[in-house]
Amino acid sequence: MPTQRRKTAAVTAAAATGNGALRLKRKVTVLLRGLPNTSEDRLAVWARSVHGFIQALRAGTAATTAAQNGAINVWINDAGEFQGIAMRNQATTASFSTRHLSVMALWLRLHLQEIR
């Protein structure tokens, strides 16, 4: 699955610091190409936990992560379903699709343990 890595700055808090400046946090984003059941590329944020993946999906954004034993991508496909793939050595080892975010969280919990 070809990806293109980009770094962007995102405002993480609207609260001003003591001198009135906004606090910025850099977020890594990745362009996911050729995803199944999608008509266009998806920009994904880097997630480290099930909670991070779920937050991204709730916001309508794809999410991705990678570790020593593989990688996981999740996104919302063109039919409005949550879809995910787990990969190892650039080959898909598991694929899943559901309309329920709670079911996707269970799938993520299982596969995040496998890649770490």
7-42 confidence digits (pLDDT tens): 443 333 333 344 444 444 567 889 999 999 999 999
- How do beta strands 42-46 and 62-67 pair? parallel
pLDDT digits (tens, 9 = 90+) for 57-92: 999 999 999 999 999 999 999 999 999 999 999 899
Residue-wise pLDDT for 89-102, tens only, equals 989 999 999 999 99
- Where is 98: in which H helix or E strand? strand 91-98
- Domain parsing of the chain, residue ranges: 29-115
10 neighbors 27 (Cβ within 8 angstroms): yes
Cα distances from 115 to residues 2, 68, 93, in angstroms, run: 19, 6, 11
